[in-house]
Structure 1
Amino acid sequence: MAAAMIANTRPRTIAAWLYIVAALIVAIVVVGGVTRLTESGLSITEWKPLIGAVPPLTEAQWQAEFANYRRIPQYEAINHGMTLAGFKAIFFWEYLHRFLGRIIGLAFLIPFVWFAARRQIPRGYFWRLFALFALICLQGTFGWLMVRSGLTHRTEVAPGWLATHLLTALFTLAGMVWTALDLRRLARESGARPARLTGFGLAATAILTVQLLYGALMAGLRAGRVANDWPLMNGSIFPGPSQSGESLGKLLFDDPATVHFIHRWWVWVAVVMLVLLARKVKPLDRRAPVAIHIAFGTQILLGIATVMSDVNVTLAGLHQLVGALLVIAVTWGIHAIGQQSHYRVS
């Protein structure tokens, strides 16, 4: 009976499905970045998970949506006098972002229920997959809380909520890839155990997370426009905080110049760790180190180009794309180390 249940599982198929969902998450991360860069995130002022999937179809519906937008501070402070055509342009990006979120939810939920009903999920993976779905739902909730933070007393979303929203997406992406890698290994070796997060892997994750956090805060605070030269910032290593007399917490997380400075220079701490990671992974998987080096090298160049272009939307969008790909590459490398640790223990 147990052997029949094991034979009925589909680890390779489930892994392929998770890779597809991961690709959709990469897409929504990029679209989310463009939505922020084009100041489109507050164009839809209500959260309607079901009926909101249908965009305005008539002139009256468009006028109603536009009227809702004209009631929030961003319209008065930034887009006063915007035409309906201009509103439709920013509405497009926010609608696309939310639409992709719905697609991701369905792309995960429907196959998950199907695999579970047919008992094709390998033993020990049901609750992991359920946790990933919970993260997707949490991500949608964080997205709405982020939008809501900019509807009353602000002209943009709160940077803290934006960072939470983005980091949750990237954490979910890493979880998808990690679980898919475990399942691929299980498909090749029936007795393979899931990879463990080693101490080194945890350190690499923490260092990269700091860089990703400050990247998100850069977007939320528009800190990329503080300085458009490199390697100096407005002609000096650190031109000083944007405002004086701030508390340490506000200085570290809410001051555009300080956030820019940390994001600009912490990357080299991350580079050292990623080079060490690549060297550690190379004997285990020769492809992962190549992916890690290409990803972080490209990401640094795009970051510099984005700053020097005064945050060109295309360059900034590519920067966000490669950031997501870097998360995948690093997850791949850390997973390889975690898989190998089983053999060392045994």
Structure 2
Amino acid sequence: MKSKRPINSDPRVAYWLLFVSSLVFAIIFIGGLTRLTESGLSITEWKPITGAIPPLSQADWEEEFEKYKDSPEFKQLNSHMNLEDFKYIFYYEWGHRLLGRGIGLVFVLPMFYLLISKKYTSYRTNKRLFAMAGLLGLQGFIGWWMVKSGLDADELMDRKSKPTVSQYRLTTHLSTALVLYLGMLYTSWEILRENKWLKDPKKAIELLKVLENPQLKRLRGISRFLLVFAFATAMSGGMVAGLDAGLIYNSFPKMGETWFPSSGELINSHYLHVNDDPKKDLFWRNILENPTTVQLIHRYMAITTFSLVMATQFYVIKMKKRGIVPRYLSKTMHGVVGIASAQVALGIATLIYIVPISLASLHQCGAIFLLTWCALFNFKIGKGRPIIRQGLVMMEKKGLNLYK
């Protein structure tokens, strides 16, 4: 009570974070389209301020096109391209970067107002906002670091790659965006839940008694593991995208005529770099850089994720029948199952039809939706902050209600 800041943040802060998280979702989607249309290397410079303005005259376009002509991608893959073709890929990458700048403004400017006003956010929320702002700034740097990997001819030669971005850097870029997205969701959900609980302390305490049941401890651990594994599967999908590994073995459930490719194809010395030790580096290079091996890993991680989802569903149903799991948790788990099923179908279709842009984009969105619902299930089974739980007990004893 002596603090100058509230213990729980204003609900409007949560709505703002939900809006920004939707923009992060959108930029991940556009980033996927940029990758699928092979547009990511069209802008060969990083200009955080002036880069927000596209070429405005014919002379500006020709100057930008000349810069692209000096890139390895144009020389090796796109020498047939004319200025109109270049404009098509340029606008994908420019739009992706422009939205990134927009997210920075929409997040940072309100954040400074909230920090200065001291009326709307708790210390806990402020710490998270600082962390998210730092991650947002880092994301811009990682994006350029990723693009630069596809413009460096020496690096491309070392990894024996066509002009494309490093799959490691692409996956880092994707993982940072997803962590930022999930951070915004968790923070907004927490703010809304705490305000809902404080409106009706008696009902909140009844719910907390259900959540504090020791028999839910195992399910809480399962939900965390499921979220982590779904995230890891999405990251393996980033590796597949970075290596164009979806363009090979376009059959399911077998890979070609067999269940597994030959050992010589899965572990091949071709993927060693110039200074690698064949005895020490052969295995991990193939695990991370051999498209066949990377696709195999992603397939079985996806199958494992789906199996975990179904096993968790059966466990939730069993506990619901025993009266341990509340109905709202069971319904959330049904949502996870539905999205996981759709995601598997999209993944198989994307593979069989040799990665069309429409299906591949939907598959990427499906991964984000699945992560969102896994995170929501994990959040809903949580017991909330101790300080809020203690406050609710005190409010009920004294008959207080902050919203009356």
**Is this a same-fold pair by TM over 0.5?**
yes
Partner of 1:339, secondary structure, is coil
Tell me how far 1:125 sits from its aligned partner: 1.3
1: CA distance, partners of 2:337 / 2:292: 28
State the identity as a percent.
34
Cα RMSD (Å) of the superposition?
2.6
Q: Which amino acid aligns with 1:167?
A: S
- Deviating more after overlay: 134-143 vs 289-298: 289-298
Q: Which of 257, 264, 286 matches 1:235?
A: 257
Go from structure 1 to structure 2 and tell me whether the alpha carbon gap of 1:73 and 1:3 turns closer, same or farther (over 3 Å shift). Answer: closer
Q: 1:129-208 to 2 correspondence within 5 Å?
A: 129-153=129-153, 154=156, 155-190=163-198, 199-208=221-230
Q: Which amino acid aligns with 1:320?
A: Q
Report the equivalent of 2:244.
Answer: 222
Report the equivalent of 2:48.
Answer: 49
1: CA distance, partners of 2:46 / 2:220: 40
Q: Which amino acid aligns with 2:306?
A: V
Is the contact between residue 136 and residue 180 of structure 2 (CA under 8 Å) also seen in structure 1?
Answer: yes
Partner of 1:238, secondary structure, is coil
Is the contact between residue 227 and residue 371 of structure 2 (CA under 8 Å) also seen in structure 1?
Answer: no
Tell me how far 1:294 sits from its aligned partner: 2.1
TM-score, structure 2 length as denominator?
A: 0.79
Cα deviation digits, residues 18-52 of structure 1 (max 9, x gap): 11111111111111111011110000111111111
1: CA distance, partners of 2:383 / 2:257: 47
Report the equivalent of 1:310.
Answer: 354
Q: Which amino acid aligns with 1:273?
A: L
2: CA distance, partners of 1:49 / 1:341: 39
Cα deviation digits, residues 143-185 of structure 1 (max 9, x gap): 1100001102230000100010011111111111111111111
Is the contact between residue 223 and residue 374 of structure 2 (CA under 8 Å) also seen in structure 1?
Answer: no
Report the equivalent of 2:399.
Answer: none
- Deviating more after overlay: 328-337 vs 86-95: 328-337
2: CA distance, partners of 1:48 / 1:318: 31
Tell me how far 1:277 sits from its aligned partner: 4.5
Partner of 1:262, secondary structure, is helix
Is the contact between residue 150 and residue 157 of structure 1 (CA under 8 Å) also seen in structure 2?
Answer: yes
Partner of 2:123, secondary structure, is coil
1: CA distance, partners of 2:331 / 2:223: 18
Is the contact between residue 173 and residue 328 of structure 1 (CA under 8 Å) also seen in structure 2?
Answer: no
Matched, 1:63 2:62: yes
2: CA distance, partners of 1:13 / 1:286: 28
Q: Which of 348, 367, 390 matches 1:323?
A: 367
1: CA distance, partners of 2:170 / 2:3: 47
Is the contact between residue 42 and residue 151 of structure 1 (CA under 8 Å) also seen in structure 2?
Answer: yes
Matched, 1:333 2:377: yes
1: CA distance, partners of 2:112 / 2:385: 33
Partner of 2:46, secondary structure, is coil
1: CA distance, partners of 2:266 / 2:382: 42
Go from structure 1 to structure 2 and tell me whether the alpha carbon gap of 1:43 and 1:305 turns closer, same or farther (over 3 Å shift). Answer: same
2: CA distance, partners of 1:142 / 1:175: 18
Report the equivalent of 1:23.
Answer: 22
1: CA distance, partners of 2:71 / 2:175: 27
Q: Which of 259, 266, 276 matches 2:301?
A: 266
2: CA distance, partners of 1:285 / 1:109: 34
Tell me how far 1:341 sits from its aligned partner: 9.5
Is the contact between residue 277 and residue 333 of structure 1 (CA under 8 Å) also seen in structure 2?
Answer: no
Tell me how far 1:104 sits from its aligned partner: 1.1
Is the contact between residue 329 and residue 381 of structure 2 (CA under 8 Å) also seen in structure 1?
Answer: no
Report the equivalent of 2:125.
Answer: 125
Tell me how far 1:340 sits from its aligned partner: 6.5
Go from structure 1 to structure 2 and tell me whether the alpha carbon gap of 1:114 and 1:275 turns closer, same or farther (over 3 Å shift). Answer: farther
Structure 2 residue runs without a partner (length 5+):
157-162, 205-210, 212-216, 272-281, 318-324, 394-404
1: CA distance, partners of 2:69 / 2:383: 54
Tell me how far 1:234 sits from its aligned partner: 1.4
1: CA distance, partners of 2:10 / 2:353: 45
2: CA distance, partners of 1:235 / 1:82: 38
Tell me how far 1:5 sits from its aligned partner: 4.6
Largest Rg, 1 or 2? 2
Partner of 1:338, secondary structure, is coil
Is the contact between residue 11 and residue 186 of structure 1 (CA under 8 Å) also seen in structure 2?
Answer: no
Matched, 1:213 2:221: no
Go from structure 1 to structure 2 and tell me whether the alpha carbon gap of 1:211 and 1:123 turns closer, same or farther (over 3 Å shift). Answer: same
Structure 1 residue runs without a partner (length 5+):
none
Report the equivalent of 1:244.
Answer: 268
- Deviating more after overlay: 331-340 vs 16-25: 331-340
Q: Which amino acid aligns with 1:151?
A: L
Tell me how far 1:213 sits from its aligned partner: 1.5
Q: Which amino acid aligns with 1:15?
A: A
Report the equivalent of 1:80.
Answer: 79
2: CA distance, partners of 1:237 / 1:340: 46
Go from structure 1 to structure 2 and tell me whether the alpha carbon gap of 1:149 and 1:274 turns closer, same or farther (over 3 Å shift). Answer: same
1: CA distance, partners of 2:375 / 2:76: 42
Is the contact between residue 9 and residue 125 of structure 2 (CA under 8 Å) also seen in structure 1?
Answer: no
Q: Which amino acid aligns with 2:236?
A: Y
